[in-house]
Amino acid sequence: MRSSAFFILSMLVLAAAPFIADNYVVRLCTFLCMYAALALSWNFIGGYAGYPSFATAGFFGLGAYAGALTQNLGFWLPLPWLFATVVVALFAAGLGFAILRMKGHYFAIGSISIVEILRLLASSWAQLTGGGDGLNVRILPGGPDYAGRVFLYSMMAVMIAAFITMLCVDRSRLGFGLRCIKQNEDAADMIGIDVTSYKTAAFTLSAMYCGTIGAIYASWVAYIDPSDAFSILLTLKVPVMTLLGGPGTVYGPILGAWVFVLLEEMIWAKFLEYNRAILGAVIVLLIFALPGGLLRMQWRRKWPSSVFGLPGLNRLKESR
């Protein structure tokens, strides 16, 4: 209950940002929505199915290029974004059958190599993508304030779509089956779960919205190049966000993404010299200190207070 109230409140604050804050804050809010959507996406494969995917930047970059290229052909927004979503979903569904045979570390390595292969492809297919010189994307007319709003609300819409999808999956057969697969894949197979299809569904869901986000990002920054679109840092950051917040929970990825982005922003501003090292150390500490993520820590804290604290207080009152 508290989580959903907090969620709705924070959505209202994000939506109000353009009216009450400057462009810097609006930009930061856009990033909050973008990373939350990516972390929610990762949760399908990493949090529910338990497959440590590092393919996020592959889907993001593919979406960015698919969107940018169609946008440059002259299609109206949001058509290129929808096109990118479909392309990435199909790509992931096809790839899933091959790559999801691998498990554990092998899967992790296999998934990260997708990012590398796609990046090489984008760099070398210069005729289409502009190669290492990058690709300029048509700028949205209407001025920076208007564009800022469009991209904030678009990112927010994808985040909310990813969140609603997650809620649906969490309560459905698919979510239950994925949780079984995470805990014991052989046993899941044995009780009638079509594990290949379930894992492919999770992988496709984890990719789809990354494609949309990548395309929106390309339109937003109006210029992409292979190392920005297929960034190894992004592919590592997103799983960390979900782990930080609470993998396999519906609010965890959002919380983790926001804490991460805000920490990053603070540390960036304060420590110009060693910002990456400090950020890395903070994240490692947080993950080691909270193996179940921030959300589960709250639960653990709640237990003693509700089991011992409150009834104890009540009894005290009664005895008076």
Query: What is the Cα–Cα distance from 69 to 269, expressed in whole angstroms?
Result: 35
Nearest to other proteins of 39, 188 (CB atom): 188
> In the beta sheet, which residues pair with residue 135?
224
Nearest to other proteins of 153, 176 (CB atom): 176
Nearest to other proteins of 67, 175 (CB atom): 175
Burial of 172 (C-beta count, 10 Å sphere; 0-12/13-18/19+): exposed
Instruction: Quote the tokens at residue 209.
Output: 């919205």
Kindly state whether residue 243 participates in binding other proteins, applying the rule CB under 8 A. no
Query: What is the Cα–Cα distance from 32 to 45, expressed in whole angstroms?
Result: 21
CA 128 to chain centre: 28
Interface mask toward other proteins for 187-216; x: CB under 8 A: xxxxxxxxx---------------------
Rounded to a whole number of angstroms, the minimum distance from the CB of residue 41 to other proteins is: 23
Q: Note whether 115 and 55 are within 8 A (CB).
A: yes
Nearest to other proteins of 188, 216 (CB atom): 188
Instruction: Quote the tokens at residue 244.
Output: 């930080």
Nearest to other proteins of 125, 303 (CB atom): 303
Nearest to other proteins of 182, 237 (CB atom): 182
Rounded to a whole number of angstroms, the minimum distance from the CB of residue 185 to other proteins is: 10
Nearest to other proteins of 135, 188 (CB atom): 188
Rounded to a whole number of angstroms, the minimum distance from the CB of residue 167 to other proteins is: 15
What is the DSSP code string of 170-219? HHSHHHHHHHHHHH-HHHHHHTT--HHHHHHHHHHHHHHHHHHHHHHHHH
Rounded to a whole number of angstroms, the minimum distance from the CB of residue 9 to other proteins is: 30
69, 180, 238, 255: which one binds other proteins (CB under 8 A): 180
> In the beta sheet, which residues pair with residue 223?
136
2, 127, 141, 186: which one binds other proteins (CB under 8 A): 186
**For the chain, how many helices (H) and strands (E)?**
16, 2
Looking up tokens 């554990």 gives 104
Total chain residues near other proteins (CB under 8 A): 18
Query: What is the Cα–Cα distance from 57 to 132, expressed in whole angstroms?
Result: 17
Interface mask toward other proteins for 139-178; x: CB under 8 A: --------------------------------x-x--xx-
Rounded to a whole number of angstroms, the minimum distance from the CB of residue 311 to other proteins is: 20
Rounded to a whole number of angstroms, the minimum distance from the CB of residue 247 to other proteins is: 12
For residue 142, CA distances in Å to 76, 139, 145, 149, 282 come to 14, 9, 8, 11, 40
Nearest to other proteins of 47, 177 (CB atom): 177
Site residues (CB under 8 A) for other proteins? 171, 173, 176-177, 179-180, 183-184, 186-195
